[in-house]
Amino acid sequence: MDADNYALMLSAYIHLNPLRAGIIRQLEDYPWSSYLDYLNLRKSHITDPSFVLNLIDNNTLKAIKKYRNYLIEYQDMKDPIRESYHRIALGSTTFIEKIKEKIEYQGRRREIPSTRYLSKYDTETIILKMTQVLHIERKRIFDKKRGNLYRPLAIYLIKRFTPLSLSEIGKLFKMDYSAVFQVLKDLNKNVK
């Protein structure tokens, strides 16, 4: 994780969870959160908010006030992990590129062939390329009609060239992970 700004963002996201879930009306009302420690309303031997607060301001009192305001301003924040690179890295473009290089280097050294490459594709790129190369509309790829070869082909390509799990592919195609497995098995059999 690209520490500074993202540590602040993740801290805020975590502290806002009970509010978003509708469990409380004010963040201070949730006693199981470290938010009270961040506001210096309670002393904890478990958490140390100094790292995050120092990102905001070197003056602790000013940092607490700014942190509280930051949470108010970003209370509708979306899950920052969704913005991450394959849910393994969160940070600036430069940081993500460095992580990709490290993963690619490590992947080439691994014994498991499927981990030897770093996916340079995402599902949207694969689907877009399919529509361009096959001269079809996007909806044909997701069509559940019997005999539609584009759907299993897309599932195969996504499984082969992205790190998505069967469950994640299943969500994309609105099917159970076991159905995705069966599609891949049938396609493999038909290709042979």
Using one digit for the tens of pLDDT, what is the confidence trace for 26-60? 999 999 999 999 999 988 888 889 989 998 999 99
Hey, is 85 helix, strand or coil? strand
The DSSP code for 115 is G
Same domain? For 9 and 65 the reply is: yes
Average pLDDT over residues 162-179: 89
Contact 159, 120 (CB under 8 A): no
Instruction: Give the pLDDT of residue 53.
Output: 92
- For 84-138, how does the pLDDT look when each residue is reduced to its tens digit (9 = 90+)? 555 566 666 777 777 777 777 666 555 444 444 455 678 999 999 999 999 999 9
The verdict on residue 179 lying in a domain is: yes
| Secondary-structure percent of the chain, ordered helix, strand, coil, rounded to 5 | 65, 0, 35
Measured between alpha carbons, how far is 155 from 81 in angstroms, rounded to an integer? 24
Same domain? For 39 and 101 the reply is: no
- Identify the domain containing residue 62 by its residue range: 3-73
Instruction: Give the pLDDT of residue 81.
Output: 62
The verdict on residue 79 lying in a domain is: no
